[in-house]
Amino acid sequence: MRLHHRVLGCGCCLLFFFLLVPTVNELMWNRSICHSENSGIIASSALSSNTHHTSRDILMGLPKDNEDSHTLALSEHPDIEIRGKFQKERMKEFCKKHVFVRESLPSDPPTAKLFYRHLIFEEHTQSMFCFVPKIGCTNMKRLMLYMGGHLPLDTLDWPWVEDSKYLEPALKHASLMNVTLTQLQRLTMMHTYYKFMIVRNPLDRLVSGYRNKIEPPLDFQKQDSFPHKIKKEILMRFQLREFLQWKQAFKTKPYNISVSFQHFVHYLIYTPTEDLNEHFQTSMDICHPCVVDFDFYGNFRNFSLDTQTLIKKFKTDPRYYRDESLHGT
């Protein structure tokens, strides 16, 4: 049952991405699926532009042949108001086709804390951003915190500002879970602020998360801290013999040990969503787009362009108009 729900979640996240950004490259993926085989998961795609639309295309919300040009034009329209309106309509269609447990904003504190934890707001521009790890979230958080006056301009260029003394207090102040906010204020913001998030091909994000956080060798001295703690758990669950041999040899003849991508995927499949680190939870689970009515979904492929468009919309300091500080990872 757990495997079924995880595969379903993977499929829904793929559908969520493709319906929002059905550009030429994504349309070539019109047969992309997530399915289980033995104890693994395979993402398969028929990269062909000559395939006919099937029931799967309809399920994915892809346009019919006579709608391709119009849909592509709207999905990449430079005016984010026009593109956002198109995206909202697509999301409504998507959410109607799929059943989700939650249909309204939470009010009880424990649930609300989990639901709102990735939302940060800025009062002056009345904007709200849902950040998802590995989708350019660090730079967008910097922008939001700078607009709110929580970070000085020079911190925008700091390479690891998330480790600085400035970021954590700034995020607490800008978080929708700020303890000074009432539930009524949160609900009012949710209904009136301009809400946006960035989307990315979920398979690309998965590989990026693995390469950045999991693939580097396990550090014996840091095995109880993130991300080494996760590496250790995966090794103990799926590569136990290798892990024990590595641990035994460490003091006499140390060598590197790494988590394979296959076992990383096994870990994702067989671990409950709520127990996964935020880097490996889906955008659907983090931002709840079928509950939160987002006004705009930026595209990670066009991260710099979409970010600059948002900067212009919010009338932010033009000194932030620097491509090198708007890259995503």
pLDDT at 158 (0 to 100): 59
Rounded to 5 degrees, what are φ and ψ at 115? Answer: -70, -40
76 falls within a domain: yes
Residues 110-118 have a mean pLDDT of 88
pLDDT at 216 (0 to 100): 96
Is the bond preceding 227 in cis, omega lying within 30 degrees of 0? yes
285 falls within a domain: no
50 falls within a domain: yes
**Cα 33 → chain centroid:** 19
pLDDT at 32 (0 to 100): 34
Whole-angstrom Cα distance, residue 7 to residue 269?
7
pLDDT at 93 over 60: yes
267 falls within a domain: no
pLDDT at 143 (0 to 100): 86
Least confident of 105-109, 174-178, 185-189, 251-255: 105-109
Share of the chain above pLDDT 70, in %: 67
Q: Using DSSP, state whether 296 is helix, strand or coil.
A: strand
264 falls within a domain: no
pLDDT at 169 (0 to 100): 85
pLDDT at 54 (0 to 100): 35
Q: pLDDT (tens digit, 9 = 90+) per residue, 119-172?
A: 999 999 999 999 999 998 888 888 888 888 887 766 556 555 555 567 788 888
- Which domain does 35 fall in, by range? 2-100
Whole-angstrom Cα distance, residue 233 to residue 284?
25
Number of domains in the chain: 1
Alpha-carbon dihedral 326, 158, 283, 44, rounded to 10 degrees: 70
89 falls within a domain: yes
pLDDT at 50 over 60: no
pLDDT at 272 (0 to 100): 93
Instruction: Report the half-sphere exposure of 252 (CA within 13 A, side-chain side).
Output: 5
Whole-angstrom Cα distance, residue 151 to residue 166?
7
24 falls within a domain: yes
Paired tokens of 167 = 């970021």
